[in-house]
Each structure stands twice: as structure tokens, then as C-alpha cells.
């Protein structure tokens, strides 16, 4: 599989770059490009805080290109999940990702109904019930992955087959009767019912009796009963954000169609209005991962609202020099210096936290030469709501500086 995809332009198609293969002490060794972090680890490092639609849009666009390229080669990845999508580099902006791990990939010509493929939680319905499948199963996996990035948890159960199928039935309904009739594994999840529809999902007790497996309980932190409800799972709303969410949810509904033949293709999805829409406001499209060449370390872009750090983080030295730390609309922090040049060599993060919360006297003799760009995982700051209380504000500022301290120390 690696040899097949190596004929493609890995950077243009957003696929893992494979350099060479060699044998060392009877071990087969594969040489790849160095990448940064996978999306699962990225979310874990962010304490499962969901990504913005701007970040999700960028990731979705790149993965659709990757899947479209694989489809042209007649390859099904079969293992689409957050662990198998990696950020190229935390220092490259905007966010650049690549699809990795082709160890379970198959060709469409080798497809057989009933194959045990795809990870739990990202497995397409046609695979679960044992129907013929196509590259569309990767599209389903992408839909589950994007939902994971949007809500900060898996859409479907990743530990229990029954709970995964039950959740699919709750959100999308049952597959068609003729599909269930033809499925190799249908009777593992469904039983025949009198009337219409002809099939129904087993109860947990029936599933245990039929499969000798006790279904696991599933715990969800984000409650919703349909994909349409995802529009309202996040509080707060900026200009154009409601329409953006609706466009994203509509894309998810097309990626997650029960019938693989009706599912949108990677090529068609690239022209979905979530990517081509004109309602996106300038603030949202400029958030996160601003190219380093465009970053101005001496000024902060103007924003419509005073940010968390604008309100709370103003430090003044004995010489009258002011050091302003401001969270911009990009959710990054910048250092604003006075007109005269300052020589700064170190930052006491603890002191800055104390200064922000007014627990300790102002920091003096701050000496810093340059402030490196933080890792991608540490760039995102919480946005304060208009009615946030002071205590909540201080907690967010302390969390921010704990992240900064972790980076510098």
C-alpha cells in the first residue's frame, strides 16, 4: 500500500510520506517523514476541549483530498480515526494534517462482505451488518472523526458493538429492510418483527442471549438525540457562527448517511457550502494558527471586544515600561512592548499569574530577549462570555499561565 501511495504527491494529497524500506537484524524497517502529534493526543492535551469550526474546516478539507486521492487509486483506508491523522508540525500554520497508517488498507477489488474491518466507533453500518461496501466506509469514518473534534468525545461507542449500533439507530434510524435482510451479521443486532418495519434492534437482554456478550453501559457528556441537535451543543454565538454550525451539521448528515450508496463522495464533499459559504466573518476565518510570517510581535490586532488578558494582565515595571499581554481574536498571546527597545531574557510565569489576579506586587526587572511561538496545543485560550464573573475570569487566566509555564519550563 505504501508503494502504491508513494507515487502520489504526499504534500498535495495530505498522505503520509514514505521514504524507504530496509531490513535490520531481520526486522523490516519503514522510513517516514517526521510528524508532530496525532489528533487524539492533541485533544487529550487540550483536556478534550473541542476545536473551533475554523480548525475543523481545515482538517476536513485536507482529509477529503486524501480520501479522494485514495479512491482514485482504488484503496480503502479502513482505519480512519483520530489516532491516524497527524499534525505535520505545531509550528506550521495554518493547521496542516496528514493521513497515516495504511497497515489495514485494502483495495476495492479485494472487498468481501462480512470482513472485520474499521475500529469500533468509526465503523460504517454496512460493515457492522455485513453488507458489500466501498470507499464510502472511509467517508463514514471521517464523519465520526469530525464529530469527535466538534464535541470533544466519540459520537459512537468505541468499546461495545451493541451500544455503537444502538446509538446509530437512535440518531439515524434503522437500515432499510432489504439491507438488513441481506446482511451477513444482521442477526447479531436485529431480530425480525411483525409488521413494518420487518426488523427491530434487539434489547440488551436479547443481544446478550444471542451473542453471549454483556452490552456495556455508555456514558456521554454531550447529550443530543439527533445530528440536528449538534447545532446547539456549544453556548455562545458570534456573527455568522449559527449559520456556520448549520452548514457543518449538514455536512455531517451527508457524511453519515446510513446507506453507503447515498453517502456523499470525498470529491462532492469538497464543494459543500461548509467550505464555500460566504457567511464566514473575518474574525472567525483569521483565528488559530496564523502564519508566523504575518505575526506582528509589536502590536495586537484590534478586536470588537476587550479580551480576557486585556482586562486583567497589565504589568508595569519600576522604570515605567508597560508589558501588556493580550489574548487576540486568534486565541494566541502576543507581547506588546513600549517604543523603546526592551532587553528581556526570562519570564516568571508565577509572578505574572499573581499580577493578573492581584495577589502579589507587580513584576519588576523583567528581562526577555524573545518569546518563542507556543506549541499548537497551547495556543488556544478560553474566550470569556460577556457576563462572566470575576472568579471565573481569574480561573481561566490562571489556567492559561499554567500552560505558558509548562511550555517555558
Query: Which residues form the catalytic set?
Result: 79
- What whole-number distance in Å separates Cα of residue 102 and Cα of residue 327? 40
- What whole-number distance in Å separates Cα of residue 140 and Cα of residue 278? 26
Find, among 266, 60, 67, 219, the residue nearest to 146 by Cα: 60
Please list, in sequence order, all residues whose beta carbon lies within 8 angstroms of the beta carbon of residue 251, skipping any fewer than 6 positions away: 60, 146, 269, 272, 274
- The alpha carbon torsion through 295, 35, 374, 407 (nearest 10 deg) reads -170
Burial class (CB in 10 A: 0-12, 13-18, 19+), 249: buried
What is the DSSP annotation of 319-344? TS-EEEEEE-TTS-EEEE--SS---E
- CA distance to 105, 159, 162, 223, per residue, from 218 (Å): 29, 9, 10, 12
Secondary structure (3-state) at 199? strand
Amino acid at each position: 500500500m505504501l508503494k502504491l501511495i508513494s507515487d502520489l504527491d504526499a504534500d498535495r494529497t495530505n498522505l503520509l510520506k514514505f521514504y524507504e524500506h530496509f531490513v535490520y537484524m531481520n526486522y523490516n524497517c519503514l522510513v517516514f517523514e517526521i510528524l508532530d502529534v496525532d489528533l487524539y493526543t492533541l485533544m487529550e492535551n487540550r483536556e478534550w476541549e473541542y476545536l473551533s469550526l475554523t480548525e475543523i474546516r481545515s482538517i476536513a478539507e485536507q482529509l477529503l483530498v486524501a480520501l479522494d486521492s485514495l479512491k482514485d487509486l482504488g484503496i480503502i483506508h479502513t482505519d480512519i480515526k483520530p489516532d491516524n491523522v497527524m499534525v505535520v508540525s505545531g509550528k506550521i500554520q495554518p493547521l496542516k494534517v496528514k493521513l497515516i497508517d495504511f497497515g489495514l488498507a485494502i483495495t476495492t477489488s479485494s472487498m468481501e462482505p462480512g470482513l472485520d474491518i474499521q475500529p469500533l466507533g468509526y465503523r460504517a453500518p454496512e460493515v457492522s451488518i455485513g453488507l458489500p461496501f466501498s470507499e464510502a466506509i472511509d467517508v463514514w469514518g471521517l464523519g465520526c472523526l469530525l464529530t469527535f473534534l466538534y464535541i470533544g468525545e466519540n459520537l459512537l461507542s468505541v468499546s461495545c458493538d451493541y451500544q455503537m449500533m444502538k446509538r446509530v439507530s437512535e440518531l439515524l434510524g434503522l437500515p432499510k429492510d432489504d439491507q438488513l435482510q441481506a446482511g451477513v451479521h444482521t442477526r447479531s443486532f436485529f431480530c425480525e418483527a411483525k409488521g413494518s418495519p420487518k426488523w427491530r434492534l434487539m434489547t440488551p437482554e436479547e443481544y446478550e442471549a444471542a451473542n453471549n456478550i454483556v452490552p456495556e453501559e455508555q456514558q456521554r457528556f454531550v447529550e443530543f438525540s439527533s445530528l440536528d441537535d449538534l447545532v446547539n451543543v456549544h453556548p455562545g454565538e458570534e456573527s455568522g457562527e449559527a449559520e456556520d454550525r448549520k452548514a457543518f451539521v449538514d455536512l455531517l448528515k451527508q457524511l453519515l448517511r446510513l446507506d453507503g450508496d447515498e453517502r456523499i463522495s470525498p470529491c462532492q464533499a469538497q464543494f459543500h457550502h461548509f467550505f464555500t459559504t460566504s457567511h464566514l466573518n473575518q474574525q472567525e476565518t483569521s483565528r488559530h494558527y496564523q502564519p508566523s510570517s504575518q505575526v506582528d510581535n509589536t502590536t495586537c490586532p484590534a478586536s470588537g471586544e476587550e479580551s480576557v488578558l486585556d482586562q486583567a494582565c497589565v504589568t508595569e515595571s519600576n522604570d515605567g515600561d508597560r508589558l501588556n499581554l493580550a489574548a487576540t481574536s486568534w486565541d494566541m498571546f502576543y507581547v506588546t512592548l513600549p517604543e523603546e527597545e526592551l532587553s528581556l531574557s526570562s519570564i516568571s510565569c508565577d509572578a505574572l499569574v499573581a499580577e493578573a489576579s492581584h495577589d502579589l506586587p507587580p513584576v519588576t526587572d523583567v528581562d526577555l530577549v524573545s518569546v518563542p511561538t507556543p506549541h499548537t496545543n497551547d495556543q488556544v485560550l478560553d474566550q470569556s462570555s460577556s457576563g462572566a464573573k470575576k472568579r471565573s475570569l481569574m480561573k481561566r487566566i490562571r489556567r492559561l499561565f499554567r500552560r505558558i509555564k509548562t511550555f517555558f519550563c
